[in-house]
Structure 1
Amino acid sequence: MQTTIYFVRHAHSTYTPDELGRPLSPKGYMDAERITDSLKHESIHYVLASPYKRAIQTVEGIADWIGAEIMIEEGFRERQLAKEPVDDFDQAVARLWQNPAFSYEGGESNLMAQKRGVDAAVHVLQTYPGKNIVIGTHGNIMVLIMNHFDSQYDYSFWKGLAMPDVYRLTFDGLKLKEVKRMNS
């Protein structure tokens, strides 16, 4: 039975120190409308999201379109990089990809974050077989999940993501069959 997950990396957000409550920027809202329009023809059954406001706001248009509540799934939250802000974000993420077991103080290693994300994805696949599910999430955790199913999705792939970005993953049971980028 084929199940389709549409991973939606959140749109651009306005920076605030409140990581959980950071909202979309005006550009982010416009891009979220574009994402909604692109998903209207995909026969979506369910919408899930990270608990972060920007991820929820990016997918709330499609949830409204299909008349569904957004189900919050902690497993799709962004990875905790470190307890304190890092000096060079890209360099810090690169180090985590180079050594998947390494973690900064108070942060998650790639292995830890990936397990959390994959557990959530497997739960979705087992709970909604044969359905089309939109998941509002974040770039880093999205690529870690994709990497579990296919190693070509790595640090370089993450670096090339747009904001927002949508990837359609088609599964047969728990086996990834196809990945297609939905927007460019």
Structure 2
Amino acid sequence: MKNIYIIRHCEAEGQEPEAPLTNNGQTQAVDVAAFFENRKIDRIISSPFKRAIQSIQPLANEINIEIETDQQLAERVLSSLIMPDWFVKLRATYDDFDLAYEGGETSREAANRILGVVDDVLKSDAEDTILVTHGGLISLLLNHYNKNFGFEQWRTLSNPDIYILKLDQHISLERIWEAEKDNL
């Protein structure tokens, strides 16, 4: 059986690649480490964005695992242009997975990036892997396994958020952050 933990980064100061975690986000990162206290982890793969790495650094330090970075887990680029109506434009990409804006990628292209990482993890020897990435990519991955997960569900993702994808004879996907974080 393979377990892939999918983590949305903690609260950050901005959207740019070098945006760090807020003070609250740093506290959340410690909470994420505590969440994994009794779970076996073989591998950690993160978006190269600073907020993603900082979200998992406390756990990596605690269990002495090096964080691998993978550009395939970087934030989705909706467009290279500033779009005041980006929210409406983003919603449209959930209705049409092949819709692209100038300088951006389609939902299908972004989904294929994270699915490629999942496929690589499935081919690896690691049984329990953490992927740390961004809400947009996570929502597209979740949509791959559950077609009811779309734009409205993306809006409900928290910072941080954690899902587990279990793969053996069957595939199961479950949000575990909300279910267990109150028990810390």
Deviation at 1:128, TM superposition (A): 3.4
Whether contact under 8 Å (2:79, 2:104) holds in the other structure is yes
Quote the residue 2:82 is aligned against.
Answer: 85
Quote the residue 2:129 is aligned against.
Answer: 133
Whether contact under 8 Å (2:145, 2:173) holds in the other structure is no
Calculate the TM-score normalised by the size of structure 1. Answer: 0.91
Within 1, Cα distance between the matches of 2:76 and 2:173? Answer: 25
Measured against aligned partners, the alpha-carbon deviations of 1:73-119 in whole angstroms (never above 9, x if no partner) come to 11111111100222133222101111110011000110111111111
Q: Note the 1:104-143 alignment, pairs <5 A.
A: 104-129=101-126, 131-143=127-139
Quote the residue 2:168 is aligned against.
Answer: 172
Match of 1:152 among 148, 151, 155: 148
Q: Note the 1:4-19 alignment, pairs <5 A.
A: 4-15=3-14, 19=16
Counterpart amino acid of 2:94? W
Unaligned runs of 5+ in 2: none
Within 1, Cα distance between the matches of 2:131 and 2:40? Answer: 14
Q: Give me the CA root mean square deviation.
A: 1.5
Calculate the TM-score normalised by the size of structure 2. Answer: 0.91
Quote the residue 1:37 is aligned against.
Answer: 34
Deviation at 1:132, TM superposition (A): 0.9
Deviation at 1:21, TM superposition (A): 0.9
Whether contact under 8 Å (1:143, 1:153) holds in the other structure is yes
Counterpart amino acid of 1:163? N
Match of 1:27 among 24, 27, 33: 24
Match of 1:55 among 37, 49, 52: 52
Unaligned runs of 5+ in 1: none
Measured against aligned partners, the alpha-carbon deviations of 1:110-135 in whole angstroms (never above 9, x if no partner) come to 01111111111111111135x11111
Counterpart amino acid of 1:180? R
Measured against aligned partners, the alpha-carbon deviations of 1:46-99 in whole angstroms (never above 9, x if no partner) come to 111001010011011111111011001111111111002221332221011111
Whether contact under 8 Å (1:168, 1:182) holds in the other structure is no
Within 2, Cα distance between the matches of 1:25 and 1:157? Answer: 24
Within 1, Cα distance between the matches of 2:86 and 2:159? Answer: 16
Percent sequence identity over aligned pairs: 26
Whether contact under 8 Å (1:33, 1:61) holds in the other structure is yes
Secondary structure of the residue aligned to 1:134 is strand
Quote the residue 1:182 is aligned against.
Answer: 177
